[in-house]
Chains A and B, each alone.
Chain A
Amino acid sequence: MPEPLIADERVQAATEPALAVSQLWKVFGPRADRIVGTPLAELPRAELLAQTACVAAVRDISFTVAPTEVFVVMGLSGSGKSTLVRCLTRLVEPTSGSVLIEGEDIRGADPRRLRDLRRHRFAMVFQHFGLLPHRRVLDNVAYGLEIRGVAKTERYRRAGEVLDLVGLSGYADHFPDQLSGGMQQRVGLGRALAVDPQILFFDEPFSALDPLIRRDMQNEVLRLHHEVGKTMIFITHDLHEALRLGDRILIMRDGAAVQIGRPDEVVGAPADDYVRDFVADVPKSHVLTIRWVMRPVRDDDPLDGPELGADVVVRDAVRAVLSSAAPVKVVHDGVLVGMVDDEAILRVIVAEEP
């Protein structure tokens, strides 16, 4: 009983999605284009490989991303995330399906138009940074502008601004290998931001970093998102990262989408055992909203208790619920949708104890 893919309200609200992907396939291997649309496509990965020597890295993925949304793609390593995100910008040529960026089908773009899109509309941050070691930090950040042909003074000015934005003021004249990993990735981030793209793609940007620095960087992304409000497609194999950053999460397995949903949906209603395993040791109280623990209103419920919004996370509701003698009313858009009592809250918290 997989949860139907819940379309986000904001997506519906926006007139046009920032990114719309439908039925996207990427098959690596000899004569890869013969697979899609045939029974071969139904085969599990291993069998397909054995029969045709092809790898279906991305299979039949569809989703949309609203403007300013942070959309996270998550899965184990080898599940096709990197391939997917590269298909979106055609760093890897998709085998079939369509990718619309602000309504424009980028699969139909000729090389020139594609280059134009890459120069102005989107930018990418890479797992291994991909910095140019022979250039100063400033020149690395200005690289995208240089490619575009922006004059030197102008691009240095802009790069300087971006350096301030990503917290690297004062490092302009350093070389990448003089910086720590976290700082190098800030350069990568700065390079992507410098061209002022509408969409930012991140391919596991923080996987190579220490946990503490990773946390820092996640905060940085949240802050930047807050400040510049870009649409972001963020790849990670770390569920905590996904839950922290994502407005919505796409979970991939062996190239296919297993579930798409808000963090609380993924944790509260895992689509299958794969996802359930994934989310098993997530502290649910940090993710689930009380919507997920409330029970329907019974006739005998006392209605004098405090009120909480349906989107309040359990952890934040604990004090209010436990300190109130009566069950707490859960309200959404001014309408009473359910009740939360001590027991429901405690069940969530106790389940987290090892």
Chain B
Amino acid sequence: MTTLSAGAVRRRAARLPRGALVGAVVAVWVLLWIPLRGRDTLELSTSELTPLHERVNDLRDAINSSRGSSPVFTAFFDVIRQAVDALTVFLQSLISQPAYGRPVPLIGWLGVVAVATLCAYAVGNLRVAVLTAAGFTSFGLLGYWQQSMDTLALTLAAVLICLLIGIPLGIWAGLSDRLHRVLTPVLDFMQTMPTFVYLAPLTLFFLIGPASGVIATLIYAMPPVIRITAHGIRTVALSSVEAGTSLGATKWQLLRTVRVPLAKRTIVLGVNQTVMCALSMVTIAALIDAPGLGQVVLRALQTLDVGTAFSAGLAIVIMAIVLDRVTTAARDRVETQYRLGPKARGRRRVTLAGLGVGAAVSLYLSYTYVWAAFFPGPDSGGVVGGQVASGVTQASDWVQVHLGAVTDAIRNAISYGLLNPLQSLIAESPWYLVSTVVLALAWIVAGARIVPTVAVCLGLLVATGLWQEAMVTLAATLVATVIVMALGVVVGVWMGRSDRADGLIRPTLDAAQVMPAFVYLVPFLGLFGASRFTAIVAAVVFAAPVAIKLVADGVRGVPATVVEAATASGSSSWQVITKVQLPLARQSLTLAANQGLIYVLSMVVVGGLVGAGALGYLVVAGFSQSDLYGKGLAAGVAVVLLGVLLDRTTQAAARRFGADVGNRG
């Protein structure tokens, strides 16, 4: 313990100058802001366009008019679109859409439930099979059978293509350092780019509809499987690879018999991540006419129908839980399947055969009979969907009526106390002052090597013509991140210290992460009005779960012996938290801040839908107003630039910090 606290003291002493430097820079900034306020803020009113924006509009028109003739389209984009479309339509005609002259899809609900259960058992275990059966049935009970199947079909199509491309590419990147080096920044970029930003340009190339929904999903869901597969291949125990080589295995034999089998568990984890990403993106792709549950949620949003939005959101959450648990069980089975005794294997085979027969019978029935094809129940709302929806609507109304005063007070406190002053400082300073300050701060917290990157990002931000908008968004992003981190630390520490709390809170967080943001926008609008604060709350709801989980895991990861030693030497709980657990979980804290920022940024556009204005609004507007297309695209790019800037800086700061701790500890 003594060495630890001595280290902590030294660390504090060494960090003081850095903190003081940051303080000094901010102080100078404020002093300069007073006389310079309002000058050179590069303001641009909403309907004004810069030449760049107009050029993008022209480019859009040019692309549009050459679509029919240009070989880039006929030979490339159209081919891709048609291929994806064929796959998607096929899957839809299997489970969701009337096809082949039938009024219903080939497989009705009974068949789908049975086959899904069979698959869940085949890749997982009996528990997830039961969960799957229950989950799939609940789609019908909620009254969203067809929409759920559309969502599922699109998700499957995207995941199939992701795996087909992603796993080989991941394996290759696992074997080749060069490819890995090339791929990493591309994947970084794909992952920091907020999803809404590429929807508009995507429709330009792939039009609208299921196919481009699937393609958007591909872009979003591919990185995890590539990354995690490469990681898995890279981390296969060297000794096993060496053993194979020493026996004269060829590269291919090594891959087949050693690397892939040993990395399989990790690869399946990648599949799990990709499935989850795909599902969340398919929902968002409703904006470009991807069918499914996302459409229900979007339309409910238009009529402020909280209840319907929620019950469709619930179906999405259930689907997410089922897919997550099944793929997780599949991962665990990779570990256990080969060591089943012959008896267990026999039992398993019998169960499989039983479920297989059941599935075959169900398939036949659902192909032939109406009752097994259409999910029974009222035409809309399903058996329980109506009740769920009206219950939620009532609850939400009640909250709005009774909590209005409180929520107004909260909004005003944060807006006047924190957001407005910060926004005024950032957005009303001259652009060169802000740029200098940002460069200086980045230098101080993240080191000199980050300076060129930051400078390029700032320069490009100015070039987008949306400097002031970007600064308004930046202010809101920072406030949201502060709230996320405050929540992250408080709840994360609580979860990290108490298994009960963890067990209770974690599922809620999981659900909050997969619940589409559109679902909670309406109640928030009721509570906080159309304002930047509503956008901040939406972002916090989306980003806090990640941060909380990271902090909780970090606190959990502090060695029990250290905590024990601290307790034994008479520390109070508060002292244990502040002197031992948080300092030792520091890496997790910085990672949480980094991820919190990225998640908050990815909600900028959603924020634009509820009054955040600035970049988010422009992206949304650019999406729907033809004159603002170029400007909206520029706003999207500006969001990405902010993302790269903040991501790089916090990561470099975290690395530097980690290295510091390593050196001194």
Contact = CB atoms under 8 A, between A and B. Distances in A.
**Contact between A and B in the complex (any CB pair below 8 Å):** yes
B202 to A, nearest CB: 41
B261 interface: yes
A89 B245 CA distance: 10
Given A91-B242, A131-B240, A119 B338 contact: no
A147 B245 CA distance: 10
A299 B553 CA distance: 84
Interface in B309-342: 338-339
B257 interface: yes
A123 B246 CA distance: 6
A175 interface: yes
Interface in B242-266: 242-250, 253, 257-258, 261-262, 264
Interface string B221-259: 000000000000000010111111111111001000110
Contacts of B262: 132-134
B370 to A, nearest CB: 47
A233 interface: no
A71 interface: no
A126 B243 contact: yes
A130 B240 contact: yes
B339 A131 contact: no
Interface string A113-124: 011111110011
A195 interface: yes
Given A132-B258, A143-B257, A147-B249, 13 more contacts: A91-B245, A114-B248, A115-B248, A118-B246, A118-B248, A119-B248, A134-B261, A134-B262, A134-B338, A136-B338, A143-B247, A175-B338, A195-B247
A97 to B, nearest CB: 20
B117 to A, nearest CB: 27
21 contacts: A91-B242, A91-B245, A115-B250, A117-B248, A118-B247, A118-B248, A126-B239, A128-B237, A130-B237, A130-B239, A131-B240, A131-B243, A132-B243, A132-B258, A132-B262, A144-B248, A147-B244, A147-B249, A178-B339, A191-B243, A195-B247
A104 B18 CA distance: 64
Nearest to B240: A130
B339 A175 contact: yes
Contacts of B244: 143, 147
The secondary-structure label for the interface of chain A is mixed
Contacts, number: 71
A292 interface: no
Contacts of A34: none
Given A129-B239, A133-B262, A143-B257, A124 B246 contact: yes
Nearest to B250: A115
A133 B257 CA distance: 11
A295 interface: no
Contacts of B248: 114-120, 144, 147-148
Interface string A129-161: 111111110000001101110000000000000
8 A-B pairs closest in CB distance: A130-B243, A118-B248, A119-B248, A130-B239, A144-B247, A124-B246, A128-B239, A115-B248
A318 B239 CA distance: 46
Interface string B557-599: 0000000000000000000000000000000000000000000
A129 B246 CA distance: 13
A72 to B, nearest CB: 19
A272 B580 CA distance: 51
A130 B242 contact: yes
Contacts of B258: 132
A138 to B, nearest CB: 13
Contacts of A119: 247-248
